[in-house]
Amino acid sequence: MAHLSRADIVALDKRYIWHPYTPMRRYIDEVDPLVIERAEGARLFDADGRSYIDGNSSWWVATLGHNHPRLVEALCRQARTMCHTSLAGVTHAPAAELAAEMIAVAPRPLDRVFYSDDGSTAVEVALKLCLQFFRNEGQPGRRRFVALDGAYHGDTLGAASLGGVEIFRRQYGGVLMDCIFVPPPHAREDGHEAAFAALADVLARGAGEIAAVVLEPLVQGTAGMRIYDPEYLRRARALCDAHGALLVIDEVFTGYGRTGPMWACEAAGVAPDLLCTGKGFSGGMLPMAATLATARIFDAFLGAPERAFYYGHSFCGNPLGAAVAREVLAVYREEEILARAAPKAARIARAFADMGAIPGASRARALGMIGAIDLSRGAGYLGELGWRAYAEARRLGAYLRPLGDVVYVAPPLTIPDADLDELLDIVRRSVTFALSTA
């Protein structure tokens, strides 16, 4: 096939592709998209020969940067042997070894791994496990879930039921599962006590009805990188135990060192009943995810055939994904990714603290390899100032994707210091530009 020009690619794109999270009329009429030809490390390279620092790890997945040579080699090595087989009455070394290695790094007492395709399906698995767990245990009335206002746990119908971002939820309101939303701790001027009291009240009034509390640990990403104290997780764990509900921790974004430790819930010393992981799980190489469960959950599905978990995906435990995910864990161990990211996290924290002094900016914050700042108050996901900053950052050589009027970075944990400093300077200049045009 002849090499396509940039114009040819854009023409085909606008004629045939339906993009995610995109008002398509505006996109077709107004947007000149980036056309990326290759990626390496912390950079994306476009068809015009320009490079862009990937400020959000391409939707938070490229925790080790793009095309990490060890991950590429693991993928090629596995592809030469076996690309796929089902996991139905079949097993293979990559899936079995990965499961053992995942449990070795997981919070105890998690000790079983159920594979799926992405973060949404990892959460979907957890919800179905919760519902059937209680049915198998003789408590079929436990069918309700509790999540935080502003929560985001994915886009399948089950996961969307837990979504507290209204623009993602309202189109499907009539068919979503029953979820009770409680105020997040970061949103209360009176602090964690009021948020904790609200959660305690819901669990007390819903005794016998609530299956699980589902939380993004320490930071609500899609809500605008809203950070909260680990104490809330500790109290949520205690409340779930007291009222017989399960605790599900969604580490799809926060896991693999994004907030500092391997798992964000480690900062609270908390272990969930179910843990969901994705994104960095395969280093951004392949769609692969997992839901980790305790023996208590697993054992409830043993016995008569009707107690089994009749659920799965065609690519469940895919050998390619499993081989790459194993290599991701090896890279984390052998290249000391978490320790080497710590000084980078400190650079992000200092830079965003300084940006808090920019006139018009507010609520500068950072946690691990995340930094965020608000360009307005209350505009929400459809705010326009963040997109002005995006356009300026693109002109200057960085790819940012704002959350409305929240501008943030979540770069690869392996981003070189020079690239990180350049990225943070571009963010500062872009935020200043956007606010000067408000």
How confident is the chain (438 residues) per 10-residue block, as mean pLDDT?
87 97 95 96 96 97 98 98 95 98 97 97 98 98 96 92 83 86 75 86 94 98 94 96 98 98 97 97 96 98 97 96 98 98 98 97 96 83 90 98 96 98 98 93
Three-state DSSP class for residue 110 = strand
* 39: phi then psi, degrees, rounded to nearest 5: -145, 145
User: What's the confidence (pLDDT) of residue 2?
Assistant: 65
Query: Which pLDDT value is given to residue 175?
Result: 86
What integer pLDDT is reported at residue 239 of this predicted model?
97
Asked if 276 contacts 313 with a C-beta cutoff of 8 angstroms, the reply is: no
Apex 326 CA angle, 320 and 331, nearest 5: 125
pLDDT recorded at residue 173: 77
Q: Is 250 a catalytic residue?
A: yes
CA 180 from centroid of its chain's CA atoms: 22
| Rounded Cα gap, residues 328 and 403, in angstroms | 28
In this structure, what token pair is assigned to residue 161? 């039921």
Whether 390 is catalytic? no
Chain-centre distance of CA 107, in angstroms?
18
Given the residues 232, 273, 279, 332, select the one marked as catalytic: 279
What is the gyration radius of the CA atoms in the chain, in angstroms? Answer: 22
How confident is the model at residue 365, as a pLDDT? 96
Q: At a CB cut-off of 8 Å and minimum separation 6, what does 67 contact? A: 38, 39, 40, 41
* Residue 359, C-beta contacts closer than 8 angstroms, at least 6 positions apart: 435
d(CA 254, CA 262): 9
Long-range contacts of 24-29 (CB under 8 A, 24+ apart): none
> What does the alpha-carbon distance between residue 300 and residue 129 come to, in Å, rounded to a whole number?
10
- Antiparallel, parallel or unpaired: β 274-277 and 289-294: antiparallel
Contact status, residue 39 vs residue 53, Cβ threshold 8 Å: no
> Would you call 238 helix, strand, or coil by DSSP?
helix
CA–CA gap between residue 373 and residue 355 (Å, rounded): 8
Residue whose C-alpha is closest to residue 63's, from 222, 284, 218: 284
Sheet (strand 110-116) strand order: 110-116, 289-294, 274-277, 246-250, 210-215, 144-148, 179-182
228 is catalytic: no
**Is the bond leading into 359 cis (omega within 30 degrees of zero)?**
no
The active-site residue, picked from 152, 228, 332, 390, is 152
Catalytic residue among 117, 250, 374, 405: 250
- The count of C-alpha atoms lying within 13 angstroms of the C-alpha of 318, restricted to the half-sphere facing its C-beta, is 19
The model carries a pTM of 0.95
Query: Between helices 385-396 and 417-436, what is the axis angle to 10°?
Result: 130
Residue 78, SS3? helix
Query: pLDDT at position 314, please?
Result: 94
pLDDT at 189: 53
- Distance separating alpha carbons of residues 345 and 410, to the nearest angstrom: 10
Amino acid at 124: E
Could you tell me the domains of the chain? 34-67+337-436 (3.90.1150.10), 71-334 (3.40.640.10)
Three-class SS state of 219: strand
Active-site choice (8, 21, 299, 425): 21
3-class DSSP assignment, residue 89: coil
Contact 214, 87 (CB under 8 A): no
